[in-house]
Structure 1
């Protein structure tokens, strides 16, 4: 991989890993549904300059409602009611297993042995993480909502399968046109008019910076660079890089917001990462492990 593509991959990994800390910072000033509304409204402004991709509106709506509204409504709420930034970055990766299961049920795709083994190992890790849900940095509700966010992400992945090859920037930008209205309605209904006005009137430089980061860096730049890498290299070479996102998420959470995990949560995190690795690498990982003996 040339240096410029390696740098692009590094930018995506760091941007998505630090993203969870930025979300936590943003949620200190902006309630979750309003944060989702503002995040995607900023991205959607680019629709005035970016042509709409050749994608039917029904798919754009499904893309926006699953990958954006569903995923981030649950994730932002989870981090509000009790989910640490570091663990959120890890648990959200369970979307890989949900994607495999949904694709098997709806599309008839074959579930391989490596998928089943990876799911089993990762599930054991998730149980360990949940068992430490009263440690102070995660609650049972926060954990469950993060899993719901991962499920919505997986549903969005299935929608993308029907989109085929389109301009990625156009898909990201026009997919962001859908979420602001549902998020605003959710904010109005559950957070209230007073909370909306108060948040907007009292936004600090930190809050605005977090919002810009989420909209421009994590969403627009991150997804566009990632998609370009997928078009230039085999999925088998690019996909494993996403395993580094939770690592950056956990480390940045420790360094930037002083999050600390219990022993069971660390053990569970290692198990989830191992399960993800098995799901991606499959028998190659086992063969290499055997060869090292």
Structure 2
């Protein structure tokens, strides 16, 4: 991998890791479902430019389905889970179990049988997640919050399979278009759960800090980060690019410890090691044996 592409891959992992700090801070000012809805409203703005030129990058049934699954099952449940009791750094780690849910659902839906090392990776990683449940107080989490973040990882897996079935012409464009769908059910749920009065109060109280967080999670995390990632996947093989996702919880937990004083306990460190080792097994990353190779699409 070229040096500037290597730097770009690390940058994406850092952007996605810091995203959990931004969410943690933003939840102090905005109700979680309203926060997610505003995130997608901002992410949908490029559609105004894309629509006349490119049109939808996939059939509308897939855009609607991905918008609903990503908006509510993935991000809606994640933000609520963090709001009721999961610190940002810990959430960045637990959410990576989406890789295993994707493999499980892929087997159930597409008949993609996981390899033995992938099964071993799932067992190791979920052992790490189970370890977290032994002492929720020491990791500053609640059982409900941890359960919801695991559910959000499963929701991410559903989005992954829908994206695979959609076969979009351009993945970045798809992210913009599905952002048109997601805000509608999220705003309706926020109105039902939080009430219109609480939503109006939160919107009136938006500060420059909150606005900056919204811009970050909508544009830098979603469009810039995902755009760079999609480009790298076009230039290199998936086996070369995928391992960099292992850096996301490393950055997430490090930023949270430095900026939010999130406790970094021995239990959390042990769980992190198990999850990351499980992910490494899942993608076939064997130290000293994998030599990244570029694909033919350069």
Question: In which range does the TM-score fall when normalised by the shorter chain?
Answer: over 0.9
> What do residues 47-75 of structure 1 show as CA deviations (whole Å, max 9, x unaligned)?
11013333111100111112232111111
> What do residues 12-44 of structure 1 show as CA deviations (whole Å, max 9, x unaligned)?
111100000000011110100000110000111
Q: Which of 234, 237, 240 does residue 234 from structure 1 map onto?
A: 237
> What do residues 89-130 of structure 1 show as CA deviations (whole Å, max 9, x unaligned)?
000000000000000011001110011100111111111112
> What do residues 193-241 of structure 1 show as CA deviations (whole Å, max 9, x unaligned)?
1111111111111111111100110111111111111111000000000
Q: Which of 167, 180, 185 does residue 182 from structure 1 map onto?
A: 185
In the other structure, the counterpart of 1:71 is: 74
In the other structure, the counterpart of 1:208 is: 211
Change (3 A) 1:184 1:263: same
Does the aligned pair in 2 maintain the 1:53–1:171 contact within 8 Å?
yes
Q: Residue 121 in 1 paired to residue 124 in 2?
A: yes
Does the aligned pair in 1 maintain the 2:98–2:154 contact within 8 Å?
yes
Query: Which runs of at least 4 in structure 1 moved beyond 3 Å after TM superposition?
Result: 284-288
> Which region of structure 1 is more displaced relative to structure 2, 162-171 or 21-30?
162-171
Does the aligned pair in 2 maintain the 1:278–1:285 contact within 8 Å?
no
Does the aligned pair in 2 maintain the 1:137–1:261 contact within 8 Å?
no
**CA distance in structure 1 between the partners assigned to 2:282 and 2:114 by the alignment:** 11
Q: Residue 7 in 1 paired to residue 10 in 2?
A: no
Q: Which of 148, 164, 169 does residue 167 from structure 2 map onto?
A: 164
**CA distance in structure 2 between the partners assigned to 1:213 and 1:277 by the alignment:** 29
**CA distance in structure 1 between the partners assigned to 2:188 and 2:147 by the alignment:** 23
Change (3 A) 1:136 1:285: closer
Aligned CA RMSD, in angstroms, stands at 1.5
In the other structure, the counterpart of 1:198 is: 201
Q: Which of 47, 52, 57 does residue 54 from structure 1 map onto?
A: 57
> Which region of structure 1 is more displaced relative to structure 2, 163-172 or 184-193?
163-172
Give the Å deviation of 1:285: 5.0
In the other structure, the counterpart of 1:26 is: 26
**CA distance in structure 1 between the partners assigned to 2:70 and 2:284 by the alignment:** 25
Residues 254-273 of structure 1 aligned to structure 2 (within 5 Å): 254-273=257-276
Q: Residue 274 in 1 paired to residue 272 in 2?
A: no
In structure 1, the gaps of 5 or more residues are: 289-293
Does the aligned pair in 2 maintain the 1:52–1:170 contact within 8 Å?
no
**CA distance in structure 2 between the partners assigned to 1:187 and 1:134 by the alignment:** 29
**CA distance in structure 1 between the partners assigned to 2:271 and 2:170 by the alignment:** 38
Query: How many residues are matched?
Result: 287
Give the Å deviation of 1:5: 1.8
**CA distance in structure 2 between the partners assigned to 1:262 and 1:7 by the alignment:** 30
Does the aligned pair in 2 maintain the 1:33–1:184 contact within 8 Å?
yes
- TM-score by length of structure 1 reads 0.94
**CA distance in structure 2 between the partners assigned to 1:238 and 1:76 by the alignment:** 27
Give the Å deviation of 1:134: 2.3
**CA distance in structure 2 between the partners assigned to 1:286 and 1:7 by the alignment:** 21
In the other structure, the counterpart of 2:39 is: 39
In the other structure, the counterpart of 2:142 is: 139
Describe the SS at the equivalent of 1:281. coil
Change (3 A) 1:151 1:286: farther
Write 1 or 2 for the structure with the bigger share of helix: 1
